[in-house]
Amino acid sequence: MALRIRSKFVAILLVAAGIPLALALIANMVVGQRRLLAAQRVLFLESAQHLATSIDLALVAEIEKVREWAMLSRLHQLVPAPGPAPGPGEVARRDAAWPGLDMTSPLLRGVVENRVADELRRFQAFNPIHVELLVTDARGGIVAATGKTTDYWQADEPWWTSAVAQAENEVTVDGIQYDDSANVQAFEICLAVRDPSRPGEPPLGVLKSVLRAGALLEPFRRLRHQGTPRVFLMDAAGAVAFEFAGREEGSAIHPGVEAAATIGTSPEGHGVVKFRDGKSYVFGSGLVTVRRLEHSGLVVRGARRLHVVVARDRALVLAPIRAQMGMLLGAGVLVLTGCLWAGWYIASRKIIDPIERLRAGAERISAAIAGQQEPGGETALPEGRGPPSFADIDRIQTGDEIEDLARSFGTMARRVAGYQEQLERDIAAKTEEIRRDLMFARDFQRSLLPCKYPVVTDSLSGSLHFHHIYQPANAVSGDFFDIRRISDASAAVFIADVMGHGARSALATAILATLMQEFRDEAADPARFLQRLNRQFHEVVRTSEDLLFVTAFHAVFDTHEGRIRWASAGHHAPIIGNRSTRDAGPLYENLPACPALGLLPEAVYTNHVAALPQDSVILLFTDGVLEAPDIHGGEFGRARLTASLRKRLHLHARGIVEGVVADMRLFTARDQTPDDVCVLAVEMQSHTNPVQSFTGIA
């Protein structure tokens, strides 16, 4: 009998411990490997795509930087017109002599020591990642460079022929490849130099920038440590152009053409592939594609197909599973051995006594449970009652560790509640302080705006009337305007829009208001007024770490001469409405370069003159009106603004402004827009043909 009980006990232990152990080993081998491989592939894919996107954005930023510099520096005006075309013999002679030239040679000095070369070096000084820049004329001869190039004549180079053939909205990028002149692995950015005022004409030359690939990619290199996956940049032929992480001393990786084809055509972007060394690697890949530059509209051509690959030896990926399986197997053997020994011992010598101890222990546990329920009663909260108070916690009296824990918890809860109450009081006080500061800033900014409109009337020619709506996106605004009386028949009107909105932009408007007060005697000359304002504003903000600029429009309305004299600093063209013809349109179109205030300290602005018919209306506004979005993301736009003005030409300035803003709010389906809004109407009214009184929004 005893042998039978002992045998059954041991058999139960074997089944109870052996079956879970076998299932764990099988699950670890089959399910564990599959999930681990899938998780690693997805992880590698996300890492590769993130790195590819980062490289893409970094390259796009450098392309934009080169293009914007070419536009801001007006490179098309600096490139000299090509002289007489040299014959084939002259081209060959210059190319043959070029490698031996030094700085004493007039030909080489003429290339590296001129105004264009100075501008190139100035750009290079701020952007040292661009190791070489050069500019050719329309025939392919070098006119400027930051240093000596490998040859003189560039018309036979593939990058030059590709750049000359570019459309006006294209840029050519090539790389990664070795550049002989710069002696580095590099990306090459080639941009045709064109006159933006003459679309459709052939390029005036070509700008080439050699971008050091190592300097561009080095910031993305991760720290190396044991077990790091291999992270590298691979071309379509399977050659590794740059390795970011995972390379050990003397262990270069060679994917090979077949592996590159598999990686490049994988629809999921991840999987398992065999490299040229015969090992299977788990990989994830991301394609580096320089997309269309969204802000400028440029299309990138010629970029080679590059993949960021994150890969690791499949055996190393599965190593944790195998190690875990060994540990489980060893632990299982130990558990089985222990269980068998314990079962044998219990079955042989400790059957009755353990059972008695188990019964006594069960009774003690039952008594303890009953004793805990007596002080507290039922454990569930009655329906409709909230959480227990601190008094409920204090009533827990079990006489064991639970009571100690309850006391400690009660003390901690009281402290946390006290801290929470104090924190809420502090936050409320700080919030109120911030609110008061914002209200003060709002009142201060509004005090900078005109508190009343000047009286501008001439007994012979007519009078000027004004009305505006000023609506900040927040408590304070980045929009600003000013109306200043110059004489009985003329007034100066100024409107500005600071980049962004909020406290930073509002501070800029305060600076503008102060500077305008300083230059108020020059308000009659719009161009000179903007030049003085720009120079002083740039002097104030040039030390700021962030870019800050202001678009502005300044005009002098003269009722006696029936004209408007104006100058613009990158601001939207006002809309002029003629009550006689019932028509409206922009005051000007295709204005030459007129940079915003604060960008270029020596910017030059030009005065323009336009007729100011009797009974006409000029509508000035900031970009918050044009860019007001509807629920689908569409913008209000100039066409809707012009139509809104046109149908209200029979109203006074107030009716026009309120009607335009009402149309904008109807379009956006909300009262508040995401950007600051400022609309200002200037009405030229004759004495002989007064406009009907304002009766409401049309």
Cis peptide bond prior to 176, omega within 30° of 0:
yes
Shared-domain flag, residues 489 and 407: no
Q: Are residues 435 and 454 in the same domain?
A: no
Q: How far is CA 605 from CA 529, 535, 550, 663, in A?
A: 9, 12, 14, 34
Which phi and psi (to 5°) does residue 317 adopt?
A: -65, -40
- pLDDT over 60 at 373, yes or no: no
Residue 459 lies in a domain: yes
Tally of domains in the chain: 3
Q: Does residue 169 fall inside a structural domain?
A: yes
Residue 409: pLDDT over 60: yes
CATH number at residue 174: 3.30.450.20
Cα distance between residue 567 and residue 606, in whole Å: 6
- Whether residue 164 has pLDDT greater than 50: yes
Write the CA distances from 74 to 97, 194, 448, 593, 598, integer angstroms.
Answer: 32, 10, 37, 10, 18
Do residue 396 and residue 529 come from a single domain? no
Please give the mean pLDDT across all residues of the chain: 81
The answer to the question of residue 241 being in a domain is no
Q: Kindly tell me the sign of the dihedral angle through the C-alpha atoms of 389, 392, 394, 400.
A: negative
Same domain, 423 and 529: no
Same domain for 458 and 431, yes or no, is: no
Report pLDDT digits (tens) over 554-580: 999 999 888 999 999 999 999 999 988
Kindly state whether residue 133 falls inside one of the protein's structural domains.
yes
At residue 658, does pLDDT exceed 90? yes
One domain, residues 575 and 665: yes
Asked if residue 527 and residue 410 are part of one domain, the reply reads no
Q: For residue 402, what are its two tokens?
A: 């639970």
Q: Is residue 325 a contact partner of residue 298, using CB atoms and an 8 Å limit? A: no
- Indicate if the alpha-carbon torsion angle 579, 584, 586, 589 is positive or negative: negative
- Count CB-CB contacts under 10 A for residue 497: 29
Strands (E), 571-663: 575-578, 583-586, 608-611, 616-621
Long-range contacts of 108-117 (CB under 8 A, 24+ apart): 108/148, 111/142, 111/143, 111/144, 111/145, 112/144, 112/145, 112/146, 112/147, 112/148, 114/143, 114/144, 115/78, 116/75, 116/78, 116/79, 116/143, 116/144, 117/144, 117/145, 117/146
Handedness of CA 357, 359, 361, 363 (dihedral sign): negative
What confidence category does residue 390 fall into, taking pLDDT thresholds of 50, 70 and 90? low
Question: Same structural domain for residues 96 and 202?
Answer: yes
Residue 155's domain comprises 64-216
- Please report the pLDDT score of residue 150 as a whole number: 85
Distance between CA atoms of residues 6 and 345, nearest Å: 9
Q: Is the Cβ–Cβ distance between 612 and 565 less than 8 Å?
A: no
Residue 614 and residue 666 in one domain:
yes
pLDDT of residue 637: 93
- Give tens-digit pLDDT for 17-37: 777 777 777 777 778 888 888
pLDDT in tens, 109-133: 888 999 999 999 999 999 999 999 9
pLDDT in tens, 577-606: 998 888 999 999 888 778 999 888 889 999
pLDDT of amino acid 339: 72
Residues 560 and 649 in one domain: yes
CB-CB contact of 16 with 354 (8 Å): no
The string of pLDDT tens digits covering residues 483-523 is 999 998 899 999 999 887 777 788 888 888 888 888 888 88
368 pLDDT higher than 60: no
Same domain, 196 and 93: yes
In terms of phi and psi (left: phi > 0; alpha: psi -120 to 50; beta: otherwise), the region of 505 is alpha
User: For position 450, what pLDDT does the model report?
Assistant: 86
CATH of the domain at 670: 3.60.40.10
Please say if the pLDDT value at position 380 is more than 70.
no
Residues 517 and 487 in one domain: yes
Burial class (CB in 10 A: 0-12, 13-18, 19+), 210: buried
Give tens-digit pLDDT for 420-465: 778 888 888 887 877 776 777 677 767 778 888 999 987 777 889 9
pLDDT at 397 (0 to 100):
65
Q: What's the N-to-C CA distance of the chain in angstroms? A: 108
